[in-house]
Structure 1
Amino acid sequence: MPTSARPSLLDSPLLAERPRPRAVAAWPHAHWLAVGTVCLGAFLGQLTASITALVFPALQEGFHASLAAVEWAALGYLLVLVALLAPVGRLSDRVGRKTVYLGGFAVFSLASLGAGLADSLALLVACRVVQAVGGAMLQANSVALVARGVPGAAMRTALGIQAAAQALGLALGPTLGGLLVTHASWRWAFWINVPVGLLGILAGWYLLPRTRPAVPPSRTVAASAPAGATQPGSEDGRFDLPGLLLLAGASTALLLALSAASGLPLPGWAVLALLGASAVLSVALVRQEQRADRPIIAPGLLNTPGIRAGLLLALTGYLLLFCPLVLGPVMLAGAGVPVATAGLVITALPGAFALAATLGGVLLPRGCTDATRCRWGALTATAGLLASAVLPVGPATAVPALLAVGFGLGLLLPANNALVMRAIPAESSAVGGGMLNSVRSLGTALGTALPVLGVHLAGRQVGGRAVLLLLAAVGLLAAALAASAGRTAGRTAEH
């Protein structure tokens, strides 16, 4: 006689998802309401990413801290995001993506409220870490919610709308940050998230479809399965925890070492120890992933044609995207440009990025391949970075240079994402997507740390120009990687 399974915490009524109102569910276009709800989360995540760099100078003044210490308001968020995206995605499969997504809005909003109330830099960084937990709950579920709730014919349009919402958040961040710091306080750069988060909770509660049955299948399957039998899908619960800890440890040690070299008060031997620890943990991570049943970074995928170059291109692309967002306000402030004006100037980069990401296909010649878009985008961004490095610092020269950088990266990054996802086998799409998200977040973290290191070592102008020249070299590397990816894609198409 079969025995019933013991109740699981995941089966708690508190985690049960509520269905949409009947009127909403019956409307033929209800899926677009769900897309709009997901767009709120996409907008919020990118708004936070781009607005934080504008408040660095205000945080330095308010907490009497170094730039190396203040940057951890961004780095702490990014490190937690890298560590949690994969496990939160796995958890969402069991708990329900709607439940986790709504919880993400709640956690993000509460942490944003706390960040704005923080009376010390340590408390602000702690709130940002909690905020990253909410960010991971949102990011790990956004694409899956669109894929589940939108009919196949409308999928590409829905994902394009979501990308446009991300681009809008990225573009508005610098302008809003500059205006809030100038006319209110840096605290409002965090408090502005609260009403958006509350709106997301209300919209998600009523407009997102249920993603988990009212009676979890684990109960019925467990009750009817023979004793000792393996439940279908039970392997999905496994997770490479050692790999996750090694990845988080290696990333944290590397960024701490860069911060220490950038002015964080740590002795020289500690910097060397951190670099050594990062190298050792990286080697251990490679070995762990080679023997893990469900690795976070699948070594087999890295040997698939096009994926290795594509992941490196994603990392360099996001490094090139976020480095100017951090460096630009610092250099403009050193040239005497007001914060509000600097915010408007920096908006040129994400604004051009949004234009190219959404309309690039219309502006380019017909038949232009993704590999060609990557190559042209990398070269255009490189030209803008070289112009920024050699021209005088000021709004008149910065705006056209940043427009070139943003437009080039808006061509490069979406096309590269498409190349990578096409190269990943269908059965490995979840792991491959997680790898792409991880390298994107690592590139963003390095793009935050590198400008601070350059400014600390050589000053705002000289150090800033040196970083821009280095970024131009990275842009040339990205163009070479794009050419390599194009040749690989061509050989794959032939076979």
Structure 2
Amino acid sequence: MIALPRDGSVPAPGTPEYARRLRHAWRVCSVTCLGLALIGVNTSTLNVALPAVVRHFDAGAFAASWILLSYLLVSTATLVFFGRVADLLGRREVYLAGFALFTAGSLLAGLAPGTGFLIGMRALQALGTAMILANGTVIITAAFPPDRLSQGMGVYIGTLSVAQLAGPALGGLIVQAAGWQWVFWVNVPPGLAALVWGWATLRRVPPAPRTPVDAGGNLLVFAALCAVLVALSEAGSRGPASPVAVAGGAVFLVLVPVLVAVERRVTHPVLDPRLFGGRMLAFANLASFCAALARSALILLVSLYFQAARGADAFTAALAVLPVPIGMAVASPVAGALGRRVSPYALSAGGCLLGFAGLLGLALSIGPATPYWAVGTCLFLAGCGSGAFLTGNTTQVMSALPPGGLGVVNGFRLMVMNVGIVLGIATTLSVLTGGLAPAARDLVYAGTLSRLSPEAVGLLMAGFQRTYLVLAAVMLAALASALLAVSRRAARGGAPR
């Protein structure tokens, strides 16, 4: 990775130094894109294959949700930690270690004898994911000249779109042809290739001065997230009045003020409000949180809709969700190219508007016999919104940050987004199945509810409508935050901060 000179200067465009830096930046981008592709494929294949995994292990609703949530919980809670570790030990080393852990977790997950072991290996995958995510955006930001950063970021985010485009179809095809184990084993060859290519391409960077790691803060973040996820998943499987759901919610409410008090006293907190005290950064990260909460469960929702409500097989459901990643794949590079002429602020707000239109359209049109063109159009709009928002929001935030401490700042940015993803999936599943009997909830995760009765399908449709309305309202909040994510200077016509 090429670091900026100590005086912050960059080679002038058109010079040989600029051309060399740009060529190396694109090689670095190929490494980070491969890492993001692995993560995107891993997530989207399991969203489609989850019913097959649930049926294989005869898992209940609670265990089924934690096959997803364990991965999201661990990766979210350790993002800032690994951002700090990378600042101390070296970004290249931590990034490559992430590839190794992710690949090992994928191999072992396919050998799981039961749901407990599978959940544990998903957590191991998540540690590798956190190492990759906490460093990928920072590596790109440091490698590209500022005037080309939006292009690099557009390709980087677009890679996630392509991975999510291939992932559902790949997951459905794998489940149908080879079995659920290969949903995990398919990650192993590219994981090894990424490790070798990253080792050859990324350059060693001297570690930053050693500063303490906030282990207590990280543990409190993990405990608080764990408590709220237990509460939400238990509410989704046994109802909000369940003692476990009530206890989890109570623990969360107790831990949040404790976390705030602890973080105010440590010298290097995992949640440092000073890093996001400005107007633009505060609202940009709030928009990122809300948008992630609104969009995170969309592919999973659509996959469950086609399998549980319409009786489709995994491969058919995988094909049905493709408009979402297609929209992302179209919008991300377009937004990256537009970023040289249009402000990231405008791209973020426009992405939220498109996402809101898609989610609202799904809420108003979804039914057991809705024509696919109507569903597909709404999904495409939502996908375009995600691609445009992610490119604009990421560029907006990363361009405003100082070089020092980029790792921990970027880790915090990603943690904010991932908290939205975790809460989005947990909340979505809880709202979706809240009107069903406990036995029917298990059938939703297994993808077999349509065999029960038309009445059960009708209740599930009401759940889908309710869920999409909630997600549309959250996306509207993301739009409001994105509109406020502009500095006072930029609002008066000056350069963005």
TM-score (norm 1): 0.83
> What residue is the counterpart of 1:353 in the other structure?
328
CA change 1:30–1:430 in 2 (3 A) is closer
State the AA in 2 paired with 1:269.
Answer: P
What are the within-5 Å matches in structure 2 for residues 284-323 of structure 1? 284-323=258-297
What are the within-5 Å matches in structure 2 for residues 470-489 of structure 1? 470-486=470-486, 488=488
1: CA distance, partners of 2:144 / 2:479: 35
1: CA distance, partners of 2:473 / 2:36: 31
What are the within-5 Å matches in structure 2 for residues 356-371 of structure 1? 356-360=331-335, 368-371=342-345
Q: Is 1:180 paired with 2:174?
A: yes
Quick check: 2:138–2:407 contact (8 Å CA) kept in 1? no
Residue 359 (structure 1) shift: 0.4
2: CA distance, partners of 1:33 / 1:426: 21
CA change 1:190–1:76 in 2 (3 A) is same
> What residue is the counterpart of 1:401 in the other structure?
378
Point out the more displaced range, 44-53 or 463-472: 44-53
2: CA distance, partners of 1:469 / 1:266: 20
Give 1:452's match in structure 2, choosing from 406, 429, 432: 429
State the AA in 2 paired with 1:465.
Answer: Q
CA change 1:104–1:287 in 2 (3 A) is same
Residue 208 (structure 1) shift: 2.9
> What residue is the counterpart of 2:465 in the other structure?
465
Point out the more displaced range, 275-284 or 30-39: 30-39
Residue 369 (structure 1) shift: 3.5
Q: Greater relative contact order: 1 or 2 (C-alpha under 8 angstroms, separation 6 or more)? A: 2
> What residue is the counterpart of 2:59 in the other structure?
65
Q: Is 1:78 paired with 2:72?
A: yes
CA change 1:362–1:427 in 2 (3 A) is closer
Residue 401 (structure 1) shift: 0.7
Residue 161 (structure 1) shift: 3.0
Quick check: 1:253–1:274 contact (8 Å CA) kept in 2? yes
Q: Is 1:199 paired with 2:193?
A: yes
Residue 474 (structure 1) shift: 1.3
Quick check: 2:87–2:407 contact (8 Å CA) kept in 1? no
State the AA in 2 paired with 1:470.
Answer: V
Quick check: 1:250–1:281 contact (8 Å CA) kept in 2? yes
Residue 305 (structure 1) shift: 1.2
Quick check: 1:317–1:413 contact (8 Å CA) kept in 2? no
The number of residues matched between the two structures is 449
State the AA in 1 paired with 2:211.
Answer: G
Identical pairs, percent: 31
Give 3-state SS (helix, strand or coil) of 1:117's partner: coil
Q: Is 1:435 paired with 2:409?
A: no
Task: Structure 2: state its 5+ residue gaps.
Answer: 1-19, 437-459
Residue 270 (structure 1) shift: 2.3
Quick check: 1:388–1:398 contact (8 Å CA) kept in 2? yes
C-alpha distance after superposition, 1:38-84 (max 9, x if no partner): 32112111211222211221122111112332121221111111222
Quick check: 1:304–1:423 contact (8 Å CA) kept in 2? no
State the AA in 1 paired with 2:291.
Answer: G
State the AA in 1 paired with 2:132.
Answer: L
Residue 429 (structure 1) shift: 4.3
Residue 206 (structure 1) shift: 2.8
> What residue is the counterpart of 1:421 in the other structure?
398
Residue 320 (structure 1) shift: 2.0
What are the within-5 Å matches in structure 2 for residues 23-102 of structure 1? 29=23, 32-102=26-96
Residue 265 (structure 1) shift: 9.5
Point out the more displaced range, 192-201 or 181-190: 181-190
Give 1:378's match in structure 2, choosing from 342, 352, 360: 352
- Rg: which structure is higher? 1
CA change 1:259–1:86 in 2 (3 A) is same
Q: Is 1:278 paired with 2:269?
A: no
1: CA distance, partners of 2:355 / 2:240: 35
Give 1:244's match in structure 2, choosing from 206, 215, 218: 218
Residue 130 (structure 1) shift: 0.7
CA change 1:94–1:296 in 2 (3 A) is closer
Task: Structure 1: state its 5+ residue gaps.
Answer: 1-25, 218-232
Residue 368 (structure 1) shift: 4.3
State the AA in 2 paired with 1:317.
Answer: A
Quick check: 2:138–2:406 contact (8 Å CA) kept in 1? no
> What residue is the counterpart of 1:14 in the other structure?
none
Quick check: 1:69–1:259 contact (8 Å CA) kept in 2? no
Quick check: 1:337–1:394 contact (8 Å CA) kept in 2? no
Give 1:116's match in structure 2, choosing from 110, 119, 135: 110
CA RMSD of aligned residues (A): 2.8
CA change 1:336–1:488 in 2 (3 A) is farther
Give 3-state SS (helix, strand or coil) of 1:237's partner: coil
> What residue is the counterpart of 2:14 in the other structure?
none
